[in-house]
């Protein structure tokens, strides 16, 4: 179960307002404008994290680091997808933190908690329909999207944070459709091997956030404990 003690509406409203606005402002912009948008995104993320618990802050740090490594591996290096300026825009790493925090906040809302079984069923139905369309009906066959949808199914059935995965499905699917429509990024037709076809965007992209959450759950507490241990050692040294 996700904690319900923290306000959920601020991260959701901030993310769902700011991230689409950044994608719109980035349209046709140069590198320095992208960097300014990145700075604004970092400021917003850090401001929102001030209201969160230490564990949530540690988990978001893990997600940002993990997602940034994925971005630089699969975009500039492997070119599975490419951004408009052939880079990783400065707003993308903190943007992943905002998206994760937004999904986490949705998951701890009372409204979602009271309707979780129905929302999980709706997510499976909508996600399955989207993945089936991408695999069998779309002009671009989408095997990668179907694979990621299966990942999402696994997390929804056996994961620890089903409400988070429901939120991630809504947020990530919307932002992937918006980002590709605006031309902020574009997915290649196949992976580097040429064997796995990819939609633009892949239908099940939200399944990736299940892996981000798994990394956050496993590494976040370790990171937090390490920081506290280091602070305790510094305090003892000063004393």
Q: How confident is the model at residue 1 (pLDDT cuts 50, 70, 90)?
A: very low
**CB count in 10 Å sphere of residue 199:** 26
| The two three-digit tokens of residue 85, written as one number | 């300026």
pLDDT (0 to 100) of residue 5: 47
Any idea which of 1-5, 24-28, 109-113, 138-142 has the lowest mean pLDDT?
1-5
Total domain count, the chain: 1
pLDDT at 143: 98
Residue 2 above 80 pLDDT?
A: no
Enclosing domain of residue 189? 9-238
For residue 186, being part of any structural domain is answered with yes
Whether residue 160 lies inside any domain: the answer is yes
Residue 13 counted as domain residue? yes
Closest CA to 165 of 202, 201, 217: 217
Q: Strands 185-187 and 81-83: what pairing? A: antiparallel
DSSP 197: B
Residue 1: inside a domain = no
Mean pLDDT of the chain: 93
* C-beta neighbour count of 96 within 10 angstroms: 23
2 occurs within a structural domain: no
Q: Count CB-CB contacts under 10 A for residue 152.
A: 28
Q: Which residues of 170-192 are buried (b: 16+ CB within 10 A; e: fewer)?
A: bbbbebbeebbeeebbebeebbe
- Express each pLDDT in 23-81 by its tens digit: 999 999 999 999 999 999 999 999 999 999 999 999 999 999 999 999 999 999 999 99
Share of the chain above pLDDT 90, in %: 87
In a domain, 137, yes or no: yes
DSSP state of 90: T
- Binned at pLDDT 50, 70 and 90, residue 235 comes out as low
Give alpha helix (H) positions in 50-160. Answer: 54-72, 92-107, 110-114, 116-132, 143-158
- Classify residue 3: in a domain, yes or no: no
Q: Which of 1-15, 122-136, 171-185, 187-201 has the lowest mean pLDDT?
A: 1-15
Instruction: Give the end-to-end CA distance of the chain in Å, rounded to a whole number.
Output: 40
Residue 191 falls inside a structural domain: yes
């Amino acid at each position: 179960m996700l904690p319900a003690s923290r306000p959920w509406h601020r991260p959701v409203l901030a993310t769902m307002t700011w991230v689409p606005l950044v994608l719109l402002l980035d349209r046709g912009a140069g590198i320095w404008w992208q960097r300014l948008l990145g700075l604004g995104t970092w400021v917003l993320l850090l401001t929102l994290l001030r209201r969160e618990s230490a564990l949530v802050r540690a988990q978001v740090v893990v997600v940002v680091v993990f997602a940034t490594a994925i971005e630089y591996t699969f975009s500039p290096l492997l070119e599975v997808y490419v951004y408009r300026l052939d880079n990783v825009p400065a707003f993308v790493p903190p943007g992943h933190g905002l998206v994760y925090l937004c999904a986490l906040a949705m998951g701890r809302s009372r409204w979602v908690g009271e309707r979780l079984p129905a929302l999980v069923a709706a997510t499976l139905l909508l996600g399955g329909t989207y993945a089936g369309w991408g695999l069998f009906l779309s002009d671009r066959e989408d095997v990668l999207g179907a694979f990621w949808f299966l990942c999402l199914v696994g997390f929804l059935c056996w994961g620890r944070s089903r409400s988070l995965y429901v939120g991630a499905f809504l947020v990530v699917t919307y932002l992937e459709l918006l980002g590709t429509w605006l031309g902020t990024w574009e997915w290649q037709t196949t992976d580097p091997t040429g064997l796995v076809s990819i939609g633009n965007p892949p239908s099940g992209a939200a399944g990736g956030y299940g892996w981000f959450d798994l990394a956050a759950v496993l590494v976040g507490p370790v990171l937090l404990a390490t920081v506290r241990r280091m602070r305790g050692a510094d305090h003892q040294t000063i004393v």
